Amino acid sequence: MLGRLRLSALIFAASAAAFAPSATAQETDYAMVKGWRIFSEQGGLSGGLVCYMSKDNGRVELRLGTDGGDWLLGMPYYDQEDRTGAWGFDGLEAEATFQVIGSGWAYMSVSREMLRNLRNEASVSLELDRGVQSFSLSGSAAAMTKVEECVDNRGRPAGGNRSVQTRQPASPAPRDNSGSQGAKGATSQVGRWQLQRFRDHCAVTNIQGQEKALRFAFDGNVFEFGFMGIGSHSVDNSIPVEIWFDGSRSGSETLEGALTTDAEGVEWRSFADPANEPGHEDGFMNASSFHAAYTTAGGDATETFSLKGSSAALRSLFDCGHKVSGSTMKAAPPPATSRMATRVTPQTAPVEDDAYRLGRGCPKLGAVVSDDSAEPASVEFRYAVGSGNATLIYWLDLGGNPVEMSTFDATDAIVRLDSFVGHSFIVKDFQGTCYGGFFEVQPGRNVFVVR
């Protein structure tokens, strides 16, 4: 039986008041961190600013936010009355009161222990009015650090995107640490599509609405495509699905769509193209829309999906899948690589190494790590530190260890590096102060103005 979690109504009401958005509250994007959207909202009942991190599991959006004090965790909810729900990290563990805040959201208070687990666990589950909803917590520690930075900066990003060429330090090379990723996968963005690299395959997804999404997967051999639509998961067994591209229904075909569950527990109506035979990837890369007609437990349904950005997303998917399939046959990585994949903590850090001295403005040691990505990207750091202090650029490796990359000051004011999507950096002076929080590499060209 679920344990009962009794919250203090007075404490929760005080916290909720600061979070409740007014009718004119506006969301302002702050950053994207490891698949999480970080944004701020000004104009709660207290008149203050709240920063959130948000992720969608394909059905429901999850939000975790703070105003610098308490944290609240919530999901969409459209009734007016508060509701008793349930939550947990390994199945549902406890009950909590979800309070209606603003229009369309309900939140529960987050204890210190729960906040610590949200940083470290693999997933969290909530049950409110839409059944049990599970969300991957991949990258949550880095995202929470960025939320705290958002609050400190009053919702204004500390560094933007900025060039004289200095010496080119050795690039952080991608490493085959797929065994350390588990079911979470390393995540990066390809436009509006999310690319994930798992141990034995890669997947790319595009959320297009409530219970509406497309997913492609590739393991270096077999291409799979799937969709989520209204009632698409209401029948457990395979069902016939009529599919076509653009407006050409006269050229449609009917396939058997199996109900599959991906590595993060999300259900899709899926299809697999036979290996080494012409498949559907050309249609997905070149058409502007994809259509699926099927019969659910509630009746007939037809879904239309935009394919905007699908060509670039599929090219990244196929490149990722080929790399994964090649890496599965490699020998075990050397000891140095294994060390990098182990998350560093203050207790395991070298005692007298200045690189590990992280002071004001720095993320907690081990909270931010680089993803094991093989997608190249360019990085340019531009020096705009008001104090004029000399600094060093550090790459945070796969375990969060700071690795010195380059000097960075008013003389060497622009530093360019070759890096990879999902890699993270900090800029730190010799007293241990960090400037700009941390910087995560996104697809394409990245310019970071460090203040």
Q: What's the CATH number where 245 sits?
A: 2.60.40.1880
171 domain residue, yes or no: no
Quote the Cα angle for 194-103-91, to 5°.
55
Q: Specify whether 378 is located in the same domain as 279.
A: no
Q: Specify whether 123 is located in the same domain as 235.
A: no
Q: Specify whether 190 is located in the same domain as 310.
A: yes
pLDDT at residue 306, rounded to an integer:
92
**Facing residues of 245 across strands?**
290
425 domain residue, yes or no: yes
Domain boundary among 277, 308, 327: 327
Q: Specify whether 437 is located in the same domain as 404.
A: yes
Quote the Cα angle for 184-186-189, to 5°.
120
- The answer on pLDDT for 200 being more than 90 is no
What are the backbone angles phi and psi of residue 233, rounded to the nearest 5°?
A: -105, 15
Number of domains in the chain: 3
Q: Concatenate the DSSP letters of all residues of 127-192 into one string.
A: ESSSSEEEEE-TTHHHHHHHHHHHHHTTT--S--B-------PPP------GGGTTTT-EEEEETT
Residue 91's contacts (CB-CB under 8 Å, 6 or more residues apart) are 125
Give CA–CA dist 327/435, Å, rounded: 36
pLDDT at residue 373, rounded to an integer:
78
Q: Specify whether 212 is located in the same domain as 309.
A: yes
At 134-153, the pLDDT tens digits run 999 988 988 998 998 898 88
Identify whether the C-beta of residue 158 lies closer than 8 Å to the C-beta of residue 149.
yes
Q: Specify whether 131 is located in the same domain as 186.
A: no
Q: What's the CATH number where 105 sits?
A: 2.60.40
Give CA–CA dist 73/138, Å, rounded: 16
The structure tokens listed for 90 are 């390994």
Identify whether the C-beta of residue 216 lies closer than 8 Å to the C-beta of residue 285.
no
- The answer on pLDDT for 353 being more than 80 is no
Domain span at residue 253? Answer: 181-327
pLDDT at residue 161, rounded to an integer:
39
What are the Cα distances from residue 215, in Å, to 212, 231, 270?
10, 17, 9
pLDDT at residue 176, rounded to an integer:
29
Mean predicted lDDT score pLDDT of the chain:
80
Q: Specify whether 19 is located in the same domain as 38.
A: yes
Q: Specify whether 71 is located in the same domain as 134.
A: yes
Q: What is the pTM of this model?
A: 0.52
Identify whether the C-beta of residue 66 lies closer than 8 Å to the C-beta of residue 74.
no
137 domain residue, yes or no: yes
DSSP-based three-state secondary structure for 117 = helix
166 domain residue, yes or no: no
Q: Which of 144-148, 207-211, 332-336 has the highest mean predicted lDDT (pLDDT)?
A: 144-148
At 34-87, the pLDDT tens digits run 889 999 987 653 557 899 999 988 888 999 999 888 899 999 988 888 889 999
The structure tokens listed for 179 are 């065994």
Q: Specify whether 86 is located in the same domain as 210.
A: no
**How many percent of the chain have pLDDT more than 70?**
81
What are the backbone angles phi and psi of residue 338, rounded to the nearest 5°?
A: -60, -35
What are the backbone angles phi and psi of residue 356, rounded to the nearest 5°?
A: -90, 0
Q: Specify whether 237 is located in the same domain as 309.
A: yes
318 domain residue, yes or no: yes
pLDDT at residue 245, rounded to an integer:
93
Q: Specify whether 85 is located in the same domain as 121.
A: yes
Identify whether the C-beta of residue 279 lies closer than 8 Å to the C-beta of residue 271.
no
At 417-438, the pLDDT tens digits run 888 889 999 999 988 999 999 9
CA 442 to chain centre: 12
At 382-393, the pLDDT tens digits run 998 888 888 999
- The answer on pLDDT for 365 being more than 70 is yes
Q: Specify whether 132 is located in the same domain as 213.
A: no
Domain boundary among 135, 152, 169: 152
